[in-house]
Amino acid sequence: MKTLRDCRIVVRCTVTLAFLLSASVPAGAGYEEAKKEGSAVLYTSLNLEDAQPLADVFTSRYPGIKVEVNRQGSSTLVTKLLTERRVGKRDNADLVLTGADSLDLMLMETPTIFQKYTSPERPPEERGFYSAVYFTILTIAYNNRAVMGTDVPKRYNDLLRDRWKGKAAINLNNYGWIHAMLDFFGADKGMDFLRKFAALHPRPGRGTTLMVQQWLGGAEVEVALPLNHDGIKRFTDKGLPVDWARLDDPLYADLHTVGILGMAPHPNAARLLVDFILSKEGQTVMAKSGNSVMRDDISIKDDIDRKKLRFISAQARTGADKYQKLMNELFSK
């Protein structure tokens, strides 16, 4: 006959076993529904060395759901997604992670390309179609063997020094910088600043790789802008003599966002993956790869002062054609 003590031991063991079993089962919303779908297809412009660890940890966290990562350049990604919807009348992917400007472009072309989703991990951006994942700062890169000490720019106005004449480069791809300067200085003073910088005849080019690896790394120029700070960091880690200026002025940044496609074949798996990407666990994985994630409860490399950040808004991105035209008129002559 069991004693009262024996019964208590049995109860305690049962409760402990139940707790351990429950702890081993992922607690994400919609996991069972997502597991029935079995997979999620992610289109992204994120480098594979960053995207694949994220997918691997998700699959480990949620057994039974495979993540297929399809990596493309942002412009190729936009064309691919719009073509699949227009020609095939369907979406082959479930979600897309790329720059917010690309998602806005797709929404202008096809308003139903994304579905609205509010993750419990982070509110979506203004219109509810996508959520911010990480950011890239539009900043000033320099050759740290040629530019040292007080010569390193601390203010945007430092770009107007005569010493940069013939020694600066301008990245025509990052036209959001035009909006940033007009926002920072005001419309009239901003145009005056841009014209004065253009008068120094910075060398026009396109892309971080060209400007950092060849022009800055090869000492063909001493400063180059606007370049994405995370791209500069990758070349610094490879030993190139480059760095980016930690300005006292506000830092303008582009958002990189994730959105679920309107005709996603695996909508439940897509929602669960979005939640994971925005969660502390998912953002920690991304931060380890060097990405400047949005969550402020995760430390990021370079100790960026988040109080200085100004994010380029959806309203500003709608003026992309205007800013690109102005960028070309000022600097591509």
Q: What is the mean pLDDT of residues 8-21?
A: 39
Check pLDDT > 50 for residue 206.
Answer: yes
- For 217-245, letters b (16+ CB in 10 Å) and e give beeebbbbbbbbbbbbbbbbeeebbbbbb
Check pLDDT > 70 for residue 10.
Answer: no
Say yes or no: 262 and 124 in one domain. yes
**260 bridge partner residues:** 95, 115
pLDDT band (50, 70, 90) for residue 233: confident
> Within a domain: residue 97?
yes
> Within a domain: residue 189?
yes
pLDDT band (50, 70, 90) for residue 130: very high
Number of domains the chain contains: 2
> Within a domain: residue 69?
yes
Query: Which residue range(s) make up the domain with 152?
Result: 136-253+313-331
Check pLDDT > 60 for residue 120.
Answer: yes
Say yes or no: 192 and 96 in one domain. no
Say yes or no: 89 and 201 in one domain. no
Please give the model's pTM, rounded to 2 decimal places.
0.84
Q: What is the mean pLDDT of residues 202-231?
A: 90
Check pLDDT > 80 for residue 87.
Answer: yes
From the list 279, 271, 303, the residue with the least C-alpha distance to 114 is 271
Say yes or no: 189 and 319 in one domain. yes
Interatomic CA distance for residues 42 and 261, integer angstroms: 10
Say yes or no: 209 and 112 in one domain. no
Q: What is the mean pLDDT of residues 223-244?
A: 89
Check pLDDT > 60 for residue 2.
Answer: no
> Within a domain: residue 308?
no
Interatomic CA distance for residues 269 and 94, integer angstroms: 8
Say yes or no: 127 and 219 in one domain. no
Say yes or no: 209 and 243 in one domain. yes
Say yes or no: 322 and 208 in one domain. yes
What does the pLDDT read at residue 99?
A: 93
Say yes or no: 196 and 318 in one domain. yes
pLDDT tens-digit readout, 245-266: 999 999 999 999 999 999 999 9
Check pLDDT > 60 for residue 321.
Answer: yes
pLDDT band (50, 70, 90) for residue 16: very low
Share of the chain above pLDDT 90, in %: 72
> Within a domain: residue 239?
yes
Check pLDDT > 50 for residue 27.
Answer: no
Report the CATH number that the domain containing residue 195 is assigned in CATH.
3.40.190.10
What does the pLDDT read at residue 313?
A: 84
> Within a domain: residue 118?
yes
> Within a domain: residue 12?
no
Say yes or no: 192 and 327 in one domain. yes
> Within a domain: residue 19?
no
Q: Give the chain's mean pLDDT.
A: 89
Say yes or no: 320 and 192 in one domain. yes
pLDDT band (50, 70, 90) for residue 29: low
pLDDT band (50, 70, 90) for residue 180: very high
What's the gap between Cα 31 and its chain centre? 26
Say yes or no: 266 and 130 in one domain. yes
